[in-house]
Structure 1
């Protein structure tokens, strides 16, 4: 995949592109993680070169990056899994092989989102939505049934004493509450498909995540 487009602001026009990432991009992708998750976020949880090499080597179609005016602005990574791998609940570490995707199934009918990350300086450009749309195009191109991924719920800790994870998601869907991640995913066309407790060590989300999916309208 390689597509180019223009991002229009009120008084600006920026040239943007989404393409597959490769070894020449690794340093820049790790730097985006560093900018996005500064201390006290543990540096060992940023992407490392070994993980990125696995992404490129095992499933290049699911290794996308975004550029704005020639500079790396974000990335999105996915792997293919079978429905059986999703049955009965899962954690991020288990379904993504701790981010190494060595469990990628070339015959899997589900595209599972490992990560989406946009550098702070580019978060008002809409590039995250462009990355998501591009991954939907991968689903259609490969003839897969759907895209699925666990969405953080960073505002949930404010309501956990009175709302279950499912109730919190429902309130966000109704527009009664706003969550920076779930609201973004809803704007991208993702729909809730359940919640998972213990998905990822994440104090803000109380270790919970909302499974959010996009179904391929062309899948038969």
Structure 2
């Protein structure tokens, strides 16, 4: 069981946030948040459904977190355990997450893999994504895992694809020359880029590419 209370600040006011494991009673709200967070052209078939959410809380509840503001769920993050070999890094989102069902969750895995993170647009100024990511970092330490890993979308690439290749775009975002809503956010969260993975997920904005990004357990 994970629960953490933290005060956030916006417009010189304190706002209390609660990060906790999400439960079946939260499903309807989580599905609504998915729709708000990933509007078209993001594929509708990649949004959560009840079966997937049930798998998340039954197979690996430690990896299923949400954040509440004033009793209202404002975002969630989901993960699973995998045995990951950095010498064989190529994979797709569908392969490593069992298409979001996490039926391949390995309780003896060495890596916490991020399946999804989403924050309500109305709450994005509160840095709730960073708070949820910190929750998973703490889970990595608590479970004595080697790392947190995940493929980052690059939605800003769609506006630069006529000038840059996916690798050139990723390099410029990493160097700070360009800003990407997802990659730049994860860099601020402490994630380290490893490599670009083509054909990672059906994602028009990212040209189906993802930037694999890691957070190593500093205690190992």
Q: TM over 0.5, yes or no? A: yes
> 1:181-204: per-residue Cα shift (whole Å, max 9, x none)?
100000000010101000011111
2:164 pairs with 1:129? no
2:199 pairs with 1:179? no
The residue that corresponds to 1:30 in the other structure is: 31
Q: CA RMSD in A?
A: 1.5
Give the unaligned 5+ runs of structure 1. Answer: none
**Corresponding pairs, count:** 219
SS at match of 1:155: helix
SS at match of 2:137: helix
Q: Distance in 1 between matches of 2:58 and 2:29?
A: 18
Moved more, 31-40 or 49-58: 31-40
| Deviation for aligned residue 1:155 | 1.4
2:110 pairs with 1:109? yes
Give the unaligned 5+ runs of structure 2. Answer: none
TM-score (norm. length: structure 2): 0.95
2:81 pairs with 1:80? yes
| Deviation for aligned residue 1:83 | 1.7
| Residues 64, 75 of structure 1: 8 Å contact kept | yes
CA pair 182-10 structure 1, distance change in 2 beyond 3 A? same
| Deviation for aligned residue 1:163 | 3.0
| Deviation for aligned residue 1:53 | 0.5
| Deviation for aligned residue 1:86 | 7.9
| Residues 17, 69 of structure 2: 8 Å contact kept | yes
Q: Distance in 2 between matches of 1:169 and 1:42?
A: 23
